[in-house]
Amino acid sequence: MQLPVINNTATEAPKSGCSAGSCGSTDDQMNHLPEHIRQKVFNHPCYSEEAHHYFARMHVAVAPACNIQCNYCNRKYDCANESRPGVVSELHHPDQAVKKVLAVAATIPQMTVLGIAGPGDPLANPERTFSTFRQLAEQAPDIKLCVSTNGLSLPEHVEELSKHNIDHVTITINCVDPDVGAQIYPWIFWKNKRIKGREAAAILIEQQQKGLEMLVARGILVKVNSVMIPGVNDKHLEEVSKIVKSKGAFLHNVMPLISEAEHGTFYGLTGQRGPTHDELQALQDACAGDMNMMRHCRQCRADAVGLLGEDRGAEFTMDKIEAMEINYPEAMKMRAEVHAAINEELESKRLAKEAKVQLVNIQGLKGSPSPQSSPASGRGSNSEKQLLIPARPVLMAVATKGGGVINEHFGHASEFLIYEASSEGVRFIGHRKTIPYCEGGDTCGDGESALDVTIRELAGCEVVLCSKVGYEPWGPLEAAGIQPNGEHAMEAIEDAVLKVYDEMRVAGKLEPKLDEQQKVA
């Protein structure tokens, strides 16, 4: 498989992956960050929406043990907090892991970040985790290291963490209230005892918060992940968000609960549902404050290799790695060149984007909602009125296989990118997976057709932009309130979304809906 990187000529995107160049948003999510943090994260695929199309990350599965139990995890499988559960990773001893990292970094020069995220809790496996980090800091100083943890034993390891090339730590914090925590964590292992219930949750919360404060005090970047569990912590996560940000976490990433019954988790077997797209988005918006949330997170496996959303793990199984000859100092030179080229391209893209945003402002597509600041447009009184009424935001789904353009047939899309157009501009919201309905056969699951699945997945979207859409899905899509649109094939996504939004505005389709007005109020 070819990687769509560097010169952007390869438009053939990985099927499972997020397509290169297509998830950008007009307001870069890193704009709010202080310069020193931007410097640290600009080439980190998990933190930068832009970078994740160019830079790759990998995880090594060296840490199988865990010191707590989460109700969304079945320890027979990988950790659900950073990994797609249900697939058991190939477990490595630290020395093997180091070998694998060097092999991958030499083969995929875009690889910038090595993460340890499990399959259990990395800090419940301190010898294995730190042995891996220690060797890599020495042998591959050009690789950034990061670690994800449930936080229970974080405070005792902060000192050691700060010694290596580690400038990011992710803590999964699902609550700051032990009563909420007691519904998420049945037990923890603490000071040689198994502790259950509220008491367990209280200790975990205390350790997480302490660890967060200690890391921030040492200048280590902290990202907080939260799993959104409807009816359990969904109302509570806004408060979590406020607290962790006030303590200095630089990103808060709200992820949906995965609770398929076949994973055999407590939540799966007791029928706890995950959030809908709408619920997740509303919470992400509420938590976002003045910063963009991380919306391109793919909840990668603990042994993922490659660009986000793709997995090249199969190229690097242990037997293949044993057979490889790696000259890392040589590889490091090549890597430096590749990184420089990518940085240059990112920089020119950023400049082009800035220029475009200005153009959009001049063209007046950014209708200002407030009367005082609305420019005298000189258009008819109708347009004046349009400017006074805040145009409601619209979600649009886009079918693309990469390159930042609309170039995928509706029926072939296995994933749609979701954009929100509003009077503020266009922003990327997330991705939604589906079954390509041309390949899905007649039924899947309990008699639901692939088209039904897609329509359900696109709930909340009013338009779906694709290069082509057949006659057959047209009716059902329209009936579901989703307008198919194949008129913008090969156009740049954000431009097309803006155009369609403006057409809707002119056609008077953007009057706020009553219930939404109330929501805003």
Partner 1 sequence: MALEIIESCVNCWACEPLCPSKAIHEAKPHFLIDPDKCTECAGDFEDPQCATICPIEGAILNEDGNAMNPPGSLTGIPLQKLAA
- Residue 186 binds which entry of partner 1, ligand SF4, none, with Cβ cut-offs from 5 to 8 Å by kind? partner 1
Residues in the chain: 521
Rg (CA), the chain: 23
Distance CA 396, CA 383 (A): 24
Judged by CB under 8 A, the residue of 186, 289, 369, 460 near partner 1 is: 186
Q: Contact region for partner 1 (CB under 8 A) — 186-194, 234-242, 358-366, 416-424?
A: 186-194
- Residue 270 binds which entry of ligand SF4, partner 1, none, with Cβ cut-offs from 5 to 8 Å by kind? partner 1
Count of C-beta atoms within a 10 Å radius of residue 179: 11
Judged by CB under 8 A, the residue of 13, 66, 116, 237 near partner 1 is: 66
Residue 69 or 209 having the CB closest to ligand SF4: 69
- Residue 179 binds which entry of partner 1, ligand SF4, none, with Cβ cut-offs from 5 to 8 Å by kind? none
* Residue 125 in the binding site for partner 1 (CB under 8 A): yes
Judged by CB under 8 A, the residue of 4, 45, 64, 390 near partner 1 is: 64
User: Interface residues for partner 1 in 127-146 (CB under 8 A)?
Assistant: 127-128
Residue 63 in contact with residue 129, Cβ under 8 Å?
A: yes
Where does this chain bind ligand SF4 (CB under 6 A)? 66, 68-70, 73, 79-81, 118, 120-121, 150
Q: Contact region for partner 1 (CB under 8 A) — 52-60, 182-190, 222-230, 418-426?
A: 182-190
Shortest distance in whole angstroms from residue 93 CB to partner 1: 10
Q: Is residue 422 within a helix (H) or strand (E), and if so which, with residue range?
A: strand 415-422
Shortest distance in whole angstroms from residue 64 CB to partner 1: 5
User: Interface residues for partner 1 in 69-88 (CB under 8 A)?
Assistant: 69, 71, 75-76
Judged by CB under 8 A, the residue of 163, 193, 235, 379 near partner 1 is: 193
Non-local (6+) Cβ contacts of 349 within 8 A are: 24, 50
Comparing every residue's Cβ against ligand SF4, the nearest one is 73
Say which amino acid occupies 210: K
Residue 505 in contact with residue 367, Cβ under 8 Å?
A: yes
Residue 170 or 241 having the CB closest to ligand SF4: 170
* Residue 332 in the binding site for partner 1 (CB under 8 A): no
Q: Is residue 144 within a helix (H) or strand (E), and if so which, with residue range?
A: strand 144-149
Shortest distance in whole angstroms from residue 148 CB to ligand SF4: 9
Q: What region, left, alpha or beta, does residue 464 occupy, with left being phi > 0 and alpha being psi -120 to 50 degrees?
A: beta
Residue 69 or 485 having the CB closest to partner 1: 69
Residue 68 backbone dihedrals phi, psi, to 5 degrees: -140, 175
- Residue 232 binds which entry of partner 1, ligand SF4, none, with Cβ cut-offs from 5 to 8 Å by kind? none
Closest by CA to 272, choosing from 74, 72, 453, is 72
Residue 328 in contact with residue 140, Cβ under 8 Å?
A: yes
Residue 20 in contact with residue 5, Cβ under 8 Å?
A: yes
- 371 prior amide bond cis, ω within 30: no
Q: Contact region for partner 1 (CB under 8 A) — 37-45, 122-130, 286-294, 374-382?
A: 122-130
Buried/exposed 67-96: b ≥16 CB within 10 Å, e otherwise: bbbbbbbbbebbbbbbbbbbeebebbebeb
Joined tokens for residue 407 = 């170039």
> Within 266-327, where are the H helices?
266-269, 277-288, 318-322
Shortest distance in whole angstroms from residue 520 CB to partner 1: 41
Residue 196 or 353 having the CB closest to partner 1: 196
- Residue 189 binds which entry of partner 1, ligand SF4, none, with Cβ cut-offs from 5 to 8 Å by kind? partner 1
Shortest distance in whole angstroms from residue 150 CB to partner 1: 13
Joined tokens for residue 46 = 């998990």
Shortest distance in whole angstroms from residue 206 CB to ligand SF4: 16
Shortest distance in whole angstroms from residue 75 CB to ligand SF4: 6
* Residue 65 in the binding site for partner 1 (CB under 8 A): yes
Closest by CA to 72, choosing from 184, 189, 197, 232, is 184
Strand, coil or helix: what is 303? coil
Residue 212 or 429 having the CB closest to ligand SF4: 212
Edge-first strand listing for the sheet containing 111-116: 251-256, 221-228, 166-172, 144-149, 111-116, 56-59, 305-306
Judged by CB under 8 A, the residue of 37, 107, 243, 266 near partner 1 is: 266
Say which amino acid occupies 155: P
- Chain residues in the site for partner 1 (CB under 8 A): 64-67, 69, 71, 75-76, 91, 120, 124-125, 127-128, 186-187, 189, 192-194, 266, 269-270
